[in-house]
């Protein structure tokens, strides 16, 4: 077999960094809030000045335990912080305090993903706690500025198991979507990839399908949106395939996604772990966790997306596909839950609106459901207007779009637009007479056996009523007239 005929598969693992939503930083009492005047959230501890001593943020530990439990990890009751030494201008101490290898709070977990109806278990190697770096700003004139407000903000790292379980860009995107839903549900991270509070790095290699070995991997950084995850991974998969197929060798390196070029570009040769000269942080005692505290955290975990999905399927009898889409975003499932509370017998129709027109409009605007002025009660009110025959479902789509654009309640839109459905028998019969006398040739066709033309006549009637006639009544009125004589 020549190389060209070999089919390759992608082997992909992921590291996710999530900024934790604590009030204060990881090892000092400075504010961990996003933004602020440059270098206004700093103190001797997060600047690493001589003589300063770090103390561990209990809330940050709790957030990592919460996440590790939600990801089915073992919790280490005894864990250690290390110094990861490297020099970079955004790292004022010259080292990052991090957890290293098996000394992490959470180990050996998993997250189930679902792509194309197939469930796959992605194993998680560890969930650990560390601190963020500051930010560099490169300004015109070849100068750079540094802001240490972010230096020392609690950062959680979630690393998938080696050898990696994922084999496609679709799987990677689904993993990230579900992980984000968990973090947001747990209120430990806001999950905003565009703002950098959730960042991911993918390591990727390829191998001939069916072979068990692992190829040389590259690491992809600078992925800052869900769209980029997919594009970046697809690009890198293609790039590696082309190298191997033309007889070359993939070089182990870190590459970054270049959004402007729509391509990955080399960044630097990968440091090997030893170069960080890890050693236990001498200013911190080992972290010993009380098993009762862990149990309490476990007991008070909120309903997680996977449990919610099961509830939608088992109790609300939603199709698995609907349940998966609705639980992929916590804001979406919160909206759905509230709407179903208001209209318990309408779960499927609410789900249809959320997955159909509503999702389409949200995608067009690039916003989340909680950023639309449409509330659960407005949606339910509109669905009830359709179901009681006051407006047609076609007008419903129009009313919905208007609600989304203006935030006006549905009844006001219906009044203003005059889209009330014509459900008055005599009005529809008058329209039917009008349509039949205007189309004698079509009536002739119907009577000679071509009953399919009824669709055309109904369409004409709907048009004459500006879409407001009740379509079933229109159909009935036309048929009864055509079958007479
Ligand atoms: Zn500080
Ligand atoms: Mn890290």
Distance between Cα 259 and ligand 2 center (Å): 23
Residue 329 DSSP label: S
For the cut 70, the answer to whether the pLDDT of residue 321 exceeds it is: yes
Q: What angle do CA 143, 146, 147 make, to 5 degrees?
A: 150
At residue 389 the predicted structure's pLDDT band, cuts being 50, 70 and 90, is confident
Distance between Cα 24 and ligand 1 center (Å): 8
Please check whether residue 220 is in contact with residue 229, taking contact to mean a CB–CB distance below 8 angstroms.
Answer: no
The domain locations on the chain are: 3-293, 302-417, 425-482
Q: Which of 201-205, 392-396, 466-470 has the highest mean pLDDT?
A: 201-205
For the segment 36-49, the average pLDDT, to the nearest whole number, is 96
Looking at the CA of 273, name the nearest ligand: 2
Predicted local confidence at residue 270, as pLDDT: 57
Helix or strand run (H / E) with residue 74: strand 74-75
Query: Rounded CA gap, 364 and 370, in Å?
Result: 15
Distance between Cα 63 and ligand 2 center (Å): 16
At residue 31 the predicted structure's pLDDT band, cuts being 50, 70 and 90, is very high
Distance between Cα 280 and ligand 1 center (Å): 21
Distance between Cα 153 and ligand 1 center (Å): 9
Query: Rounded CA gap, 388 and 420, in Å?
Result: 11
At residue 198 the predicted structure's pLDDT band, cuts being 50, 70 and 90, is very high
For the cut 50, the answer to whether the pLDDT of residue 3 exceeds it is: no
Distance between Cα 57 and ligand 1 center (Å): 12
Distance between Cα 227 and ligand 2 center (Å): 23
Residue 356 DSSP label: I
Predicted local confidence at residue 102, as pLDDT: 74
- Burial (CB < 10 A; 0-12, 13-18, 19+), residue 52, is middle
pLDDT tens for each residue of 206-243: 999 988 888 999 999 878 888 889 999 999 999 999 99
Mean predicted lDDT score pLDDT of the chain: 92
Looking at the CA of 29, name the nearest ligand: 1
Looking at the CA of 152, name the nearest ligand: 1
**Which sign, positive or negative, has the C-alpha torsion 437, 442, 445, 450?**
negative
Looking at the CA of 16, name the nearest ligand: 2
Predicted local confidence at residue 393, as pLDDT: 83
For the cut 50, the answer to whether the pLDDT of residue 128 exceeds it is: yes
Please check whether residue 351 is in contact with residue 376, taking contact to mean a CB–CB distance below 8 angstroms.
Answer: no
**Which sign, positive or negative, has the C-alpha torsion 293, 296, 298, 304?**
negative
Percent of the chain with pLDDT over 70: 97
Predicted local confidence at residue 1, as pLDDT: 45
Which range has the worst mean pLDDT, 129-133, 199-203, 209-213, 298-302?
A: 209-213
For the cut 70, the answer to whether the pLDDT of residue 109 exceeds it is: yes
Looking at the CA of 148, name the nearest ligand: 1
| DSSP string over 364-391 | HHT--GGGSS--HHHHHHHHHHHHTTSS
CA-CA distances (angstroms) from residue 394 to 399, 430, 468? 9, 22, 9
CA-CA distances (angstroms) from residue 90 to 30, 133, 147, 222, 336? 17, 6, 8, 16, 43
At residue 271 the predicted structure's pLDDT band, cuts being 50, 70 and 90, is low
Distance between Cα 79 and ligand 2 center (Å): 16
Distance between Cα 124 and ligand 2 center (Å): 15
CATH assignment of 425-482, given 1.10.150.120, 3.90.1150.10, 1.10.10.410, 3.20.20.20? 1.10.10.410
At residue 4 the predicted structure's pLDDT band, cuts being 50, 70 and 90, is low
Distance between Cα 149 and ligand 1 center (Å): 8
Query: Rounded CA gap, 348 and 291, in Å?
Result: 42
pLDDT tens for each residue of 160-196: 999 999 999 999 999 999 999 999 999 999 999 888 8
Distance between Cα 354 and ligand 2 center (Å): 37
Predicted local confidence at residue 485, as pLDDT: 59
Quick one: CA torsion of 22, 24, 25, 31, rounded to 10 degrees? 120
Distance between Cα 41 and ligand 1 center (Å): 7
The residues, ordered by sequence, that sit 6+ positions from 431 with a Cβ below 8 Å of its Cβ are 461, 464, 465, 469, 474, 477
Looking at the CA of 156, name the nearest ligand: 2
Q: Which of 254, 188, 257 is nearest to 227 (CA)?
A: 257
At residue 273 the predicted structure's pLDDT band, cuts being 50, 70 and 90, is low
Looking at the CA of 82, name the nearest ligand: 2
Looking at the CA of 42, name the nearest ligand: 1
For the cut 70, the answer to whether the pLDDT of residue 272 exceeds it is: no
């Amino acid at each position: 077999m020549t190389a060209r005929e070999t089919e390759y598969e992608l082997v992909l693992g992921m590291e996710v960094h999530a900024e934790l939503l604590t009030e204060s930083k990881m090892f000092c009492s400075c504010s961990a809030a996003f933004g602020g005047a440059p270098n206004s959230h700093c103190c001797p501890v997060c600047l690493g000045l001589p003589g300063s001593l770090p103390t561990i943020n209990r809330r940050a530990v709790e957030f990592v335990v919460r996440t590790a439990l939600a990801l089915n990890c073992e919790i280490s009751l005894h864990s250690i912080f290390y110094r990861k030494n490297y020099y970079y201008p955004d790292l004022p101490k010259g080292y990052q305090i991090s957890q290293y290898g098996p000394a992490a709070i959470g180990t050996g977990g998993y997250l189930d993903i679902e792509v194309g109806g197939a469930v796959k278990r992605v194993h998680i190697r560890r969930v650990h706690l560390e601190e963020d770096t500051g930010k560099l700003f490169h300004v015109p004139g070849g100068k750079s500025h540094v802001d240490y407000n972010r230096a020392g903000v609690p950062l959680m790292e979630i690393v998938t198991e080696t050898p990696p379980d994922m084999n496609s860009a679709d799987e990677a995107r689904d993993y990230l979507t579900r992980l984000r839903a968990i973090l947001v549900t747990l209120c430990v991270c806001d999950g905003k990839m565009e703002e950098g509070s959730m960042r991911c790095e993918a390591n990727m290699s390829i191998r001939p399908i069916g072979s068990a070995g692992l190829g040389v991997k590259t690491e992809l950084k600078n992925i800052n949106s869900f769209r980029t995850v997919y594009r970046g991974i697809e690009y890198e998969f293609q790039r590696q395939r082309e190298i191997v197929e033309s007889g070359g060798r993939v070089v182990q390196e870190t590459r970054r996604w270049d959004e402007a070029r729509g391509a990955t570009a080399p960044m630097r040769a990968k440091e090997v772990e030893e170069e960080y000269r890890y050693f236990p942080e001498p200013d911190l005692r080992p972290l010993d966790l009380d098993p009762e505290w862990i149990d309490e955290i476990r007991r008070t975990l909120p309903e997680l997306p996977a449990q919610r999905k099961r509830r939608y399927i088992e109790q609300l009898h939603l199709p698995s596909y609907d349940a998966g889409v609705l639980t992929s975003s916590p804001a979406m499932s919160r909206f759905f839950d509230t709407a179903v509370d208001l209209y318990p017998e309408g779960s499927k129709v609410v789900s249809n609106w959320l997955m159909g027109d509503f999702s389409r409009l949200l995608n067009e605007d690039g916003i989340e459901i909680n950023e639309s002025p449409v509330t659960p009660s407005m949606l339910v009110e509109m669905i009830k207007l359709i179901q009681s025959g006051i407006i047609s479902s076609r007008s419903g789509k129009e009313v919905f779009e208007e609600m989304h654009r203006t935030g006006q309640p549905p009844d006001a839109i219906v009044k203003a637009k005059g889209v009330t459905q014509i459900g008055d028998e005599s009005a529809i019969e008058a329209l039917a007479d009008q349509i039949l006398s205007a189309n004698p040739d079509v009536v002739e066709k119907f009577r000679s056996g071509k009953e399919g033309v009824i669709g055309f006549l109904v369409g004409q009637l709907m048009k004459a009523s500006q879409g407001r006639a009740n379509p079933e009544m229109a159909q009935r009125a036309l048929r009864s007239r055509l079958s007479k004589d």
